[in-house]
Amino acid sequence: MQRNATTRYPVLLVHGLFGFERIGHFELFHEVKDALKTAGSRVFVPHLSATHDNEVRGEQLLKQIESVLRGTGASKVNLIGHSQGALSARYAAALAPHAVASVTSVSGPNHGSELADFLRKALVPDRLPEVVAQNVATLFADFISLLSGGGTLPQNALAALNALTTEGVGAFNDRFPQGLPPTWGGQGAAQVNGVRYYSWSGVLPATHLPSFDPIQNACQALSQYFMTEGDQNDGFVGRFSSHLGQVIRSDYPLDHLSTLRRSASTVASLLDPIALYVEHAARLRAVNL
C-alpha cells in the first residue's frame, strides 16, 4: 500500500556541488521527485549555482523559497538538501526560520569533507595548478548551468571547494550552528527557532569485489583519501561529519550518489534509497509539517 506522505508544506529538493534540476530529459532528482509527488507531496527543485560557496547558494535558495511561497500560498517550506545542498538549506533556515519548517540533510558535509581537504591541499595557492583547476572546474560548471537553463548564475569552483573543507565548513558552522551535535558523532537539537532538523547518510558497502556501478567504483577509489573516517565514509562525506539534528541513520549501505538514485547495487539489495524520502515525508506529515 502506498504510504501517505502528503506534507503540510511544500518540499524543496536542494542539489549539491555540480548539481542541476534538468538537462534535456534527465532530471537529477527525477526518482525522488516522482516518488514524493505520487505519495501526495508538492515538490519543487530550486536551481542554484553548480559551483559556489554556501552563502551565495543560500541566498539564491532564499529567493526561490519566496517564489514558492508566493506561488503556492504556503507559509513555510520543507528543505531536503543533498550534499552541499544541505549547507545551502541550513543557511536559508538560519536567516529565515519563519519561512522554513524543516531542514533535512542527506549526505551533507556538515562538518566538512576530508576529500575536499585533500583536494585543497593538492592545489598550490597562486600558482598554475590552482589556476588551471579553478578554470577547468568553473568552465565545466558553466557548461552544466548552460545546459540546464541556468546560464546567468555565477560559478566559482574554488569558492565551492574552500566552502566544503573542514576549515571552510568550520567557519560556516561558527555562524550557523543550528542543529549541530554538541559532540562528535552525536545528535543535534531536533528543533531550533521553530525549524526541525534531520539527517541521514550512508557508508560505502563493504566489499572486496569490483562493482558493476562505475559511480560506486569511483566513490570506493576516493574513499582512500579519508583519514579520520577512513572506513566510515561514502566516498565524499564521512559518516559522523554528516550528522545534523535528529540523525535518522548514518550508515546506510549507500555511496554518496546512491542516496539520490537507484543504482545496480541498490536494486540488487533490500534497501530502496528512494523509499527513504517517502518515509521521511511521512515523518514530516506526522509532526504536521
Of the residues 41, 53, 82, 83, only one is catalytic, namely 83
Nearest partner of 234 among 121, 118, 122, 115, judged by Cα = 115
Q: Which amino acid is at 125?
A: P
Nearest partner of 289 among 9, 72, 37, 6, judged by Cα = 9
What is the three-class DSSP state of 134?
helix
* Distance between CA atoms of residues 104 and 123, nearest Å: 32
Grid look-up 559532540 returns: 183
CA distance readout (Å), 11 to 14, 74, 116, 205: 10, 11, 29, 29
Active site residue 88: no
Residues paired with residue 105 on neighbouring β-strands, in sequence order: 81, 199
Of the residues 82, 111, 256, 280, only one is catalytic, namely 256
- Cβ–Cβ under 8 Å, residues 248 and 200: yes
Write the CB contacts of 264 (distance below 8 Å, at least 6 apart in sequence): 211, 212, 213
Of the residues 234, 243, 250, 263, only one is catalytic, namely 234
Active site residue 234: yes
Active site residue 107: no
Q: Is 90 left (phi over 0), alpha (psi -120 to 50) or beta?
A: alpha
**Lookup: cell for 29:** 532528482
Q: Which residues are catalytic?
A: 83, 234, 256
